[in-house]
Amino acid sequence: MRILVFILMSIFYLGQSSAEQLWIVSEEIPPYNYLENGEPQGLGSDLAQALLDETGRKAEVKILPWARSYHLALTRPSTLIHGMLRTPDREDQFAWVGAGGSYSASFYKLAENDEIDLSNVLDAKDLTIGVYIGDGKAEVLADLGLTQFEYAEVDHLNLRKLLLGRIDLMVVDDLVMSDLVRSEGVDASLIAKELQIPQLSGDTYLAFQKNTDPALVAEFRQALEKIRTNGVFDAILQRHHTF
């Protein structure tokens, strides 16, 4: 009987330990996050590591397709996601840590397409817009009244669809677009920035799954504030040329 109790207690505590293991997740979206020789790199990955250094904690770091990272951050306690837009729909779904960087997104089209001439976001309401699954930018644009979205798993596929004429526009972070064009081997002159979107310029955020231990969330909030005041945060931004 004692052996049985010991086994059951061991399973219980093992399950508890596993459930409380800290995970840090985001998407592979160069130059913000990417894998190099199997190791996370980029601004977001450096920021996550700085927070781990400040807290003295260890974590399992995962760079996954956005939809998978987002699902983990919604469902698994002790999961920290970074590089996320803080939209009204998400406000009550997460335990927010704080801002962890900036971004600026635009509509892009084929340079030869003279029929598309946007002066504001709503001018795109009848056009097909490429976004990726779970993309917060699509949530913002939908709130503004746009509905014609074509979804892909990653923005690499949206760029290919744009080149093939299967979508009219794609919406993407400006730094990310530069890296996409380079990594896909596309002649940059084939693509034109049509309109920078004011509603999609601002901060990205770090947030925990909503049911995460509040003490852990508070610890990371304090760590983020600490690296902001001691110069580590600014050094990361400067290293990645993001101001």
In CATH terms, the fold of domain 104-201 is D-Maltodextrin-Binding Protein; domain 2 (3.40.190)
Percent of the chain's residues with pLDDT above 70: 91
When pLDDT is cut at 50, 70 and 90, the band that residue 169 belongs to is very high
42 — alpha (psi -120 to 50), left (phi > 0) or beta? Answer: left
Mean pLDDT across 13-30 = 71
Q: Sheet with 60-64: list strands edge to edge.
A: 60-64, 23-27, 79-84, 191-209, 94-110, 169-173, 129-132, 149-152
When pLDDT is cut at 50, 70 and 90, the band that residue 241 belongs to is low
Mean pLDDT across 178-195 = 93
Q: What pLDDT score was predicted for residue 188?
A: 93
Tokens linked to 141: 């644009």
Q: Of 8-12, 28-32, 201-205, which has the strongest mean pLDDT?
A: 201-205
The number of CA neighbours under 13 Å toward the Cβ of 135 is: 24
What single-letter DSSP state applies at residue 101?
E
Measure the CA–CA gap between 198 and 83, rounded to whole angstroms.
Answer: 18
Residue scoring higher pLDDT (38 or 228)? 228
Q: Does the pLDDT value for residue 243 go beyond 50?
A: no
Burial call 107-127: b when 16+ CB within 10 Å, e when fewer = bbbbeeeeebeeeebeebeeb
Q: Does the pLDDT value for residue 7 go beyond 80?
A: no
**Measured CA distances, 41 to 126, 186, 232 (Å):** 38, 23, 16
Q: What pLDDT score was predicted for residue 32?
A: 85
Lowest pLDDT segment from 59-68, 89-98, 218-227: 59-68
| CATH architecture, domain 2-102+202-239 | 3-Layer(aba) Sandwich (3.40)
Residue 240 near residue 102, CB atoms below 8 Å: no
When pLDDT is cut at 50, 70 and 90, the band that residue 111 belongs to is very high
Q: Does the pLDDT value for residue 106 go beyond 60?
A: yes
Residue 172 near residue 105, CB atoms below 8 Å: yes
Q: Does the pLDDT value for residue 4 go beyond 50?
A: no
Measure the CA–CA gap between 63 and 168, rounded to whole angstroms.
Answer: 29
Domain with CATH 3.40.190.10 in the chain: 2-102+202-239, 104-201
Mean pLDDT across 146-159 = 95
